[in-house]
Amino acid sequence: MTEIQFRSDFGVELVDSMGGDHSIVRAARVSSGSEAGDEKRDKGLINFLARDRHGSPFEATVFQFKIDVPLFVAREWFRHRIGSFNEVSGRYKILEPVFYMPAEERPMKQIGKPGAYTFEPGTITQARHSRVMHRQVAEMAWMAYEDQLALGVAREVARNVLPVSIFTSFYWTVNGRSLLNFLSLRHVTDDTTVPTFPLWEIDQAAGRVEELAKQVAPEAFAAFNKHGRVTP
Amino acid sequence: MTEIQFRSDFGVELVDSMGGDHSIVRAARVSSGSEAGDEKRDKGLINFLARDRHGSPFEATVFQFKIDVPLFVAREWFRHRIGSFNEVSGRYKILEPVFYMPAEERPMKQIGKPGAYTFEPGTITQARHSRVMHRQVAEMAWMAYEDQLALGVAREVARNVLPVSIFTSFYWTVNGRSLLNFLSLRHVTDDTTVPTFPLWEIDQAAGRVEELAKQVAPEAFAAFNKHGRVTP
Amino acid sequence: MTEIQFRSDFGVELVDSMGGDHSIVRAARVSSGSEAGDEKRDKGLINFLARDRHGSPFEATVFQFKIDVPLFVAREWFRHRIGSFNEVSGRYKILEPVFYMPAEERPMKQIGKPGAYTFEPGTITQARHSRVMHRQVAEMAWMAYEDQLALGVAREVARNVLPVSIFTSFYWTVNGRSLLNFLSLRHVTDDTTVPTFPLWEIDQAAGRVEELAKQVAPEAFAAFNKHGRVTP
Amino acid sequence: MTEIQFRSDFGVELVDSMGGDHSIVRAARVSSGSEAGDEKRDKGLINFLARDRHGSPFEATVFQFKIDVPLFVAREWFRHRIGSFNEVSGRYKILEPVFYMPAEERPMKQIGKPGAYTFEPGTITQARHSRVMHRQVAEMAWMAYEDQLALGVAREVARNVLPVSIFTSFYWTVNGRSLLNFLSLRHVTDDTTVPTFPLWEIDQAAGRVEELAKQVAPEAFAAFNKHGRVTP
């Protein structure tokens, strides 16, 4: 059996981008026909756009990421319809034996009602048991996958046994406005004012996305945070 | 342990719809300002729209389905971005122990290259072995899921061990044009002229979708088939 | 010359709809797997969805309107990309001589800076002069349109002379969530908390849309208004 | 009166872009997990994607254009919903007196039925008369616009008298797949196999768009043309 690998982190790479703060400003200025300003006025304009939710200029900047996350995280990601995805296919490709293993800091215990859970660390027993289950199922499922492949069963049938903890890879092309919408819902910070309760794992990965994206359009992110992380 | 259930079929229910052939005709006639015609002229108009790919009038009819399929089928379904989804949440709900089991008619053997596979029935050994693997992994994973829940592990963590063969349920609200695009890619018939190689399972489920939808807009589907199942 | 007509109001007709409050509730309940509730619990659920911005269930209700507005209003309407349009074509059809004339209550004077204008009624001279200009240009342009048609010039060329005050007609098919987004931006009420400064004419027409739509999904609109008319 | 300007051409500028053929290839290869190839294999892959309509990798390349066209052309352009627009606002800005004038090569006479017109050059009388009408209406409307502004009438009211021949400017951000869809419908070449009858003016402008875009992704355009200009 191929040796399988467990990981608790997520892969987030900024592959490419188009524009930045300057293209947001440029797109906004066409509406009013105002002249290009200096740095300070541009910053003020971006701030105004975020505050008053003039969202369309934020679509003039585009990002492309390569993302490596477990299937259960990818499923949430793909719910965001304004953007483009290209993903590893379990029909075309023999998958890689890389599975998710919750890290120690992953809260294990949920309290409260659907839509308003809070989470606590969980007991040592809970964490240990859950991690053992993650490992055992991944190992058995991978063996079942490889056995079927060895017998000549089609990839697209054999993969049915794999758990949603298996990692997948995809390219994500997304404009700035749709990205801010994603981050408003999937990454919570002290500035968050929008009611949202993201899955712990997507929150971690989305945080990495934000770190990279804000280097491309720092003023846009500053304004987004200043105004409560509401989608413009 | 809760007794688990295996199924080889898919749940497809037409929950609601808006309009039909008449609303396609009505939407088309606003462009040219032509008078409402008799049945024969309406049929001719729909035929013309499909042939010449005037697609927007097909958006004037809307369908809502309730779909029950395994996760690996749902993942393909959700790639279709023009439409709306509401799905069972493994974060909020204790899932049902219903898993996919390939039926005898499911071809098991793939031949050729990615993007151009053909499939053959597979040997008895292949089919039998694959079905055993489907069963064993599902049983073990379900046990691991229930064990974690019994220990108080959060639902959204415990479910990570479940395989993509588990069933999910969702409502799908989709307009007629987007539905025809889905069917052009996911359900192959003798009329298909678009190059497409859908997964066997989604082809089956999409076929059920088409049976129900064509009762709502029979002339639209007749024209779609007549013109090679190309998205208008 | 065909006699031309001036109008100051807008045509808004609810042609068809699918679902209502009950389909929002049904779509939401599939996530948590909760049982259908009584009327009071359904109302509470819709309120929760609007408050916490669980927007996707609002996509399970669909509306279809027939809209008659001047081109300059239609142009703003068509900026809303989540929805479907079928419009009168000036290429295919000889247009109707119906033009917009500002009513007395239309504020005529703008004060302040782009993005933060306020409006005042305007002097009698302003109003009278503007109305005369609307009339004279419409009359001259219509004559120029008909003259070209009489000479055999193509419709799609002749219509270039027509002003944006001419009325157009279109069908608009839109789901509940996208409709609420439209209304949050284009119709201001005492409940509005989102920063927005809609054009006076689209505000009037959108108000008519809201009156009709809220009869289809009264609890959804009650919750929308209660929570500041923020798009869920 | 400000002197007004007539133009018969269209402004099309490629402002920015992200990726090109290589990003289409990269996005496609993630699905099958195949290794990066040499130039010849990459070309073959793009050809395969276009032929078999694997469209999503074409979304991995993005273009941004600045477009100057008359309103009646912009209205068709904005019907393409997968993409982003930022346009001059007649509410915020005093517009420029630039109007469309049909050039001599613009066919003036339409023959046949809606949806299947053909066009012929038109007589000298038709062309001359139409051009005079374009000029006279533009001049009178512009005077009526300036008169209202001089009296203090709000910009958003005064502009109602302007004809759809007036020029507008907008930024258009669009991914490669949506761009190919636009070009398949709006620019006809000898390679076109899709039934479409674009407006003469948008066909001209779209041709300029294509010239610029194909320098960014030459193999993608070669494959698009080779396979009948069908949207992948």
Confidence of residue D34 (pLDDT cuts 50, 70, 90): confident
Q: Which of A51, A53, A196 to mutate to test the interface with C (most CBs of C within 10 A)?
A: A53
Report the b/e string of A145-156 with b at 16+ CB within 10 A.
bbbbbebbbbbb
CB contact under 8 A, B152 and A122: yes
The list of chain C residues with pLDDT below 70 reads 1, 114-115
The per-residue pLDDT for range D107-128, each reduced to its tens digit, is: 998 888 766 778 888 889 999 9
Residue of B81, B89, B108 lying closest to A153 (CB–CB): B108
**Is D91 an active-site residue?**
no
**Of B110-119, C46-55, C102-111, D27-36, which has the strongest mean pLDDT?**
C46-55
| pLDDT, mean over chain A | 95
Given the residues C131, C186, C208, C229, select the one marked as catalytic: C186
The per-residue pLDDT for range A59-93, each reduced to its tens digit, is: 999 999 999 999 999 999 999 999 999 999 999 99
Residue A39 exposed, middle or buried by CB count within 10 Å (0-12, 13-18, 19+): exposed
The per-residue pLDDT for range C48-97, each reduced to its tens digit, is: 999 999 999 999 999 999 999 999 999 999 999 999 999 999 999 999 99
* ipTM (interface predicted TM): 0.95
Contact assessment for residue C180 and residue C49, using Cβ atoms and an 8 Å cutoff: no
pLDDT of residue B181: 98
Question: Which amino acid, C175?
Answer: N
Collapsing DSSP to helix, strand or coil, C94 comes out as: coil
The per-residue pLDDT for range B46-62, each reduced to its tens digit, is: 999 999 999 999 999 99
Question: Which amino acid, C209?
Answer: V
Confidence of residue B37 (pLDDT cuts 50, 70, 90): confident
Contact assessment for residue C6 and residue C103, using Cβ atoms and an 8 Å cutoff: no
Searching chain A, which residue's CA lies closest to the CA of residue D92? A32
Report the b/e string of D9-44 with b at 16+ CB within 10 A.
ebebebbbbbbbbebbbbbbbbbbeeeeeeeeebbe
- For β-strands A98-100 and A5-7, DSSP reports them as parallel
Q: Tokens 């991914």: give the residue.
A: D175
Contact assessment for residue D66 and residue D13, using Cβ atoms and an 8 Å cutoff: yes
The per-residue pLDDT for range B134-175, each reduced to its tens digit, is: 999 999 999 999 999 999 999 999 999 999 999 999 999 999
| Distance of residue A57 Cα from the nearest chain D Cα, in angstroms | 7
pLDDT at D196 over 80: yes
pLDDT at A44 over 70: yes
Chain A hits for C34, CB-CB cut-off 8 Å, are 114
CB contact under 8 A, D115 and B51: no
Given the residues D159, D186, D208, D229, select the one marked as catalytic: D186
